[in-house]
Each structure stands twice: as structure tokens, then as C-alpha cells.
A and B are shown apart, each in its own frame.
Chain A
Amino acid sequence: MFRRSLIPALIVAAVLAAGCVSSTDIEGLQAQLGDVQRQLLQLQQQTSSKDEVADLRDEVSTRTQALIKSEADMMVGLEQLATQIEQLQASLGDTNYRLTQLSQQITATNQELQAVRSSLGGALANPGRAQSPVVKPPEDPRALYQAAYNDYLGGRYDLAILGFRRYLEAFPGTDLSDNATYWIGECYFSQRKYAQAIQEFDAIVTNFQRSDKKASALLRKGFAYLEMNQRNQGIVQLQSVIRQYPQTDEADLARQRLDSLGVDPS
């Protein structure tokens, strides 16, 4: 699942768009405000009539109100944009989920196809024995993955690790390979085998360039180091989460953890 690549681009575009529209408005207003203030000063220096000063004061007040309103509008607009982005992100997540389901189905179908082909091949080579082809029933990748995930949820970590490893061996290079690796890491983490957990989280960062689990994996790696009392390593990992994935929830979590450690997040 590779949802993250699109999100930063969306956010940048949104912020740029919002920035363009509003900055012209505000600059204009600010320039006008500056002019009015200058005139006010000049008038006061020339000690002209009090009415004129009062008029100008009213004008300043009106324009200030307009400026405040314009800024408020902009904030509302930004908030709406943020919500829209969040909903897009969520629906992208759903789409990814469905895509993953599909990809699992394709893997399963391919398995069946291969099994049928090999049995057909055998039948063609030995026409006399075509009646009893020995077809080994292919393992269903979905069932295998789900059983392993089920074991993870139930706290049967050794079984879960076995299951995910078998999945990775039997079905390499599927959309869920990074997830399976991640869960193996989580299983080790749950068993307090932090060094092994770190190995798996590393594998995600190096083997799955486009994985949406990279930020999570890096963060978990940092947490694992902290659990092992390797404070400096942990801090370095958390800081790199913030540097590499600044717009993510993981970066926020890394910041909070660094904060609780009394370390400057940057």
C-alpha cells in the first residue's frame, strides 16, 4: 500500500493555492492601512481639525476589521482544505485496502493457474495418465496472511511470525509483503525481542522503497532502541522520522516522545 507519496504533493499544492489568493488581498489591505496611518500621522502633525482625525480613525477601524475578517476567512478556507485532504487520505486508504484485496485475489488466481498448467503439462506429456493428475492444492495467500494476522491479534506471536514468514516465502513481492514484514517486527517487539524487531523494521525501509509503513517502521525502530535503553540511537531515529516524514502522524508522535525525553525535536 503506497498512499503516502501523493499526500505531501497535495498538501503543498493546497498551501500554495491558499497562499496566493490571500496574500494579494492582505498585501493590498496592508498597503492601504499603511497609507491611512501615514495620512493620520501627517494630519496630526499639521494639527488639523479634530473631525478629520476622527474620520480617519473610523476609516482605520473599518479597514482593520476587513483585514481581520479576511484573515478569518482564510483560516476557515485552510481548515476546510485540511479536512478535505484528510478525507482524501482516508478514501485513498480505503482504495488501497480494496486494491490489496484485489492483488491478493490475483496472487491466488495465479497460483491456481500455475497448478492447472503444470497438471495439464503433465497430462499432455503422458496422455495415458491424464485421468489422474496429481494437483497439489495451492495455498491461499489471503487465508495464510489472515491466519497469521489473527495469531498476532490473539497474542500468539511465535505462530504469527511463522505464518508471516511462510507468506513471504510462498508469495514474495505482493502488496502485503511490507505489511507481513512489519507484523513480524511488531511480534518481536511484543515479545521484547527488540534487536530482532529492529532488523525487521530496517528490512521495510531498505526492501520496500514505496511502502506506506516506512514512517511507522522507522518510529517503531526508535521506540525499540529506547526500550533497549539505547537512548542516543533512539533519539537519532525519532529525529529522522521528523526529518523524513514531517507531515505524518508518526512525526507528531516522534516529537511528543522526544519532548518527554527532554530533547529538542529538530
Chain B
Amino acid sequence: MIKRWTVAAQTLQHALASGLALSTVWVSTQIPAAAAPQDQDEPAQDITVVLEQGQQRARFRIAVPDPDTSAAAPRTSVASLDLTTVLRQDLEASGVFSVQGPEQLSVLSLTGDRLRDAPLYQSLGNELLLESAVREEKGLLVLEGRIFQLSGGETILGKRYRGGYELSRRMAHTFADEIVRYFTGRRGVALTAIAFHSDRDGLTRGGDPRREVYLMDYDGWNQRAVTAHESMSMSPAWSPGSDAIAYVTYVENELVSIYSVDVRTGAKTPVVRSGGFNSSPAFSPDGRKIAFARTVGGGNTEIFVSHRDGSNLVRLTNANGIDTNPAWSPTGREIAFTSGRSGRPQIYVMGAEGTDLRRATFTGDYNDGAEWSPDGARIVHSSRRSSGTSFDLALTDLTTNETRLLTAGVAGSHESPSFSPDGRRIAYQTTRSSRTGTDTQIYVVELAGGGHRQLTRQGHNWAPDWSGYLE
């Protein structure tokens, strides 16, 4: 993390100090047609920020005024203001930038002439200026955005995007990801999604609590169901190509099976439908296999692996204690899982073919639900507090086996963490905003800064799983 920040800082220093105008990158991008946004949930507007361990690092300070819309048609004007708002939210949420928008900038008497305005922007502490222009061309929305370095006036990044009006959010996300990539060397995650399951649809026809698998954009927008079994469908897990989601479902009577849904077409395919009770599926990083837990009788649960179509079933663990919640390492060579073999649930790591078992967590007497960091060096998991039944999020370094809590002192129970593909933040389920202690919602926490952001509000929501990059 520190290294990446150093690189970013050097990039900016280079751009700011060398006096060498970096060549403007003009890339014209046609936004690919994606599924039109459907019933939009209300956006997560109020942001809860709790500072925890981990230093707040200096962010790049960037002014993002509204574009000039005086000459634009009304619908273009509305779209351009929306787009700029999304861009600001993305940049702020990236953890890389501290953004000043129209509210903060309203104290300045701006002239519209960039050279004359630069000292004004700087007077509020800004280092950078993002100017955007949005107009309509042949019925399509065109976004041109440029980032200027205020001290020298050079353009350090310029981009141009074009797409239908319904894709304006996507355009903003794409531009934000490019900006983050330019400053950090690593692409942003504005074009990723989070899968989860929710009871917001009420009850099943049989009167049992109904749960369906849902998807949302990384910022909580565009929440939509991907299953409609009218049963209990839970524990979604993305395929590495982010084209499919595996999940557990009670849709078949007398059998808890694992299904896979094609995210684009919505087609659902049974993957594992033998063995009675199957749970917690996880795709291997090459997308060819699925690991999952199966109860083999007498409450004994073991880890199995099969090919993606459910064939070639192999049992990897063989212990009297419960073995569950498998998670593949990014290289696909290891599987982390929870095991009760020591008498208390702890996280273990084994080779992907079941060999060479070793214990990973030594702090706390109840650790569960491991997910790997994208660099493979750490796992994030939940760890039960010594007093009571609530859980904290914890990070365990797999080379030193040291564990550090991410939510120490934050009220509520925090579980089921999942890393963003850039490794900078974690989605998790929590009762932190609940008065009764049972209202579970999905939040995102930034690892370096510690800001927590609520993404879901409707019904109860569980088990977030962050996608890879969506192309």
C-alpha cells in the first residue's frame, strides 16, 4: 500500500515539478452497451466515517466544478450534472483524491478563464483541476474531461467518452477508473459490482423467509435481483471472469444445491445437486473448478472440489470437526477454510489438492469466513470478540500469522468480508446501524482510511462478494 502511494506521489511530483508538460492523452472511447439500469435503489448518500487503525494518507486535492451547461439542451444539462456528481463521488470514494465540488468552490469569484482562476482554486488548497464538458452528438452523450495541474497549468490527462444517455453513470465510472489508474498505477474499482443476498422480497409461497441473490454497482446503485426462485437462495460467489455467480439454493426439495447464474442472460444451471446439504461455493481463479462445503452426515461438514459443471467430485478434507467456507488463493494453489478440528473454529490453509494443511489464525478463539487479498499475502475474516457473540473484521498476515482487528470498538457485529479487486477496500455485512442488533446491512470500508459507507437499506442484506473488474 505504501509503495503504491509513493509511486502515485512521485508521479504527481514528476508532473508538478518537472515543468515537463506530459503529453495529453486523448482517447476516444465508445461506452459499450450494457444492460440498462433498472429499478434503482436509493443511492447511499449519507456516509458514516469512523476513523480506525491505519493512517489517513494525504490525498491529492482536486477541484471538480460543474461543467458549463448554459448552451446545452435541458436533458444534456441534467445528464452532465449527474455525470459530474458521479465522477466526484467516485474520485472521493477511491481514497486517492480529496474532492472540492460546487459547494466548496462557490466562495470563489471564478471567471471561467482557467489561467486566471488557477490561483483561486489553489487558495483553497487544490493541486489539480478537473474540467469536464458534456454535449450531445447525434443523440449520444459526449464527455470530455481534462485534468490540469494548477501550479503550472499543464494538462496531465485528457479523455473523451461517448455513449447513450442511459450509460452516463458508466461513462463517469470509466473516466474515474482511468484517473485513478493514472495517479496510482492501478485501475480504480468504479466499474465493479457486489453480489449479496437479501430478504427484501418478503416470504416464500410456503411462508418461509424468502432470500434472493442480488447485484449492485460498487457504490450501491442499480440494485437488482439475479435470482427469482421464490425460495432461499444465498451465499453468492463471483466467477473470476465476473460473468457468472454461484450460489446455494433450497429450490429443490429435500436438497440444498449449488446453482450458477449467467449474469448477462440470467440463465440458471444446477452445478452440485447431490449429497443433501451443500454450502459456501467458491470459484477457482482459473474458473474451472468450484470448492464448496458438504455435510456428509452426523453434522460433519467437509470441503469438496468439483469441476465447474459439477463433475469430478473430490473430497479434500477428512476430519470429525466441521470444515467449511473454502476460499481459493489468487494463484489457485491454496485453499483457506474454517475448521473446528482444534475444538474451536480457526482458519487453516491447505494446498488446492488437499495436501499440506497448516493453521493460519492463532489469535482469538473463533475465526471464520476467510477471503484472500488480491496479492495473496493476507486473508480478511471475522473474529469473535472474547466477550459476547459479536464479530470483528480481522486481517491476518499469512507469512507472520499476525492478526489485526479492523473494527475494534465499532458497535455491532461485522462479518462476511470480501476484498475489492484492487485490495484497497472491503465489503462486509454488519449490524452497526441496527437498533435491535438484528438489522444486517452491507457496508464498505476503506482499508487505509477507515471510512465506512453504507450500501444497502432495504430489507436485510447479507454475504457480499465483490466482483473482479467488469469489462
15 contacts between A and B (CB under 8 A): A82-B320, A83-B320, A86-B319, A86-B321, A87-B321, A94-B359, A152-B333, A153-B334, A190-B333, A216-B355, A216-B356, A220-B353, A252-B318, A253-B353, A253-B355
Q: Chain A: interface residue count, which band?
A: 20 to 34
**Which of the candidate stretches B257-265, B308-316, B461-469 sits at the interface with the other chain?**
B308-316
A211 shortest CB reach to chain B, Å:
11
Complex interface: chain B residues within 8 A of A105 (CB)? none
What residues on B are CB-neighbors of A225 within 8 Å?
Answer: none
When chains A and B are docked, how far (Å) is the Cα of A147 from the Cα of B398? Answer: 11
Q: Say whether A93 contacts B333, CB under 8 Å.
A: no
Q: Is the interface of B mostly helix, strand, loop or mixed?
A: loop
Interface of chain B residues 327 through 360 with chain A (CB within 8 A): 329-331, 333-334, 341-343, 351, 353-359
A260–B313 CA distance with the chains assembled, in angstroms: 9
- Distance (Å) between the CB of B48 and the closest chain A CB? 33
Q: Please report the C-alpha to C-alpha distance between residue A154 and residue B400 in the assembled complex, in whole angstroms.
A: 15
CA distance A182 to B351 in the complex (A): 12
Q: Which residues of chain B have C-beta atoms less than 8 A from A91's C-beta?
A: 342
Interface size on B, residues (CB 8 A): 33
A256 and B314 within 8 A (CB): yes
Task: Assess whether A223 is interfacial by the CB under 8 Å rule.
Answer: yes
Q: Are B353's CB and A223's CB within 8 A?
A: yes
Tell me whether A94 and B342 are in contact (CB under 8 A). Answer: yes
- CB-CB nearest 5 A-B residue pairs: A90-B342, A146-B399, A155-B331, A153-B376, A216-B355
Minimum CB–CB distance from A131 to chain B (whole Å) comes to 37
Judge if B26 is at the interface, Cβ distance under 8 Å.
Answer: no
B320: contacting residue among A79, A150, A220, A253, CB under 8 A = A79
- Proximity string of chain B (105-134) to chain A, C-beta cutoff 8 Å, 1 when within and 0 when not: 000000000000000000000000000000
Total CB contacts across the A-B interface at under 8 A: 87
Residues of B bordering A, CB below 8 Å: 312, 314-321, 329-331, 333-334, 341-343, 351, 353-359, 362, 375-377, 398-401
Q: How far is the CB of A262 from chain B (nearest CB, A)?
A: 13
Q: Taking chain A's interface residues, is the majority helix, strand, or loop, or is none over half, making it mixed?
A: helix
Whether, in the assembled complex, A219 has its beta carbon less than 8 Å from a beta carbon of chain B, the answer is yes
Q: Which of A153, A213, A220 contacts B329 (CB 8 A)?
A: A153
Say whether B342 contacts A260, CB under 8 Å: no
Which A residues have a C-beta under 8 Å from some C-beta of B?
79, 82-83, 86-87, 89-91, 93-94, 97, 146-147, 149-150, 152-155, 182, 186, 190, 213, 216, 219-220, 223, 249-250, 252-253, 256-257, 260
Q: Are B399 and A153 in contact (CB under 8 A)?
A: yes
Write the nearest CB–CB distance from B392 to chain A, whole angstroms.
Answer: 22
Q: Which A-chain residue is minimally distant from B329 (CB atoms)?
A: A153
**Contact in complex: A153, B377 (CB < 8 Å):** yes
Contact at B356–A87, with CB atoms within 8 Å?
A: no
Residue from A91, A147, A253 having most chain B Cβ neighbours under 10 A: A253
Task: Give chain B nearest CB distance to A189 CB in angstroms.
Answer: 8
Query: Given A79-B320, A83-B321, A153-B398, are A249 and B343 neighbors across the interface (CB < 8 Å)?
Result: no
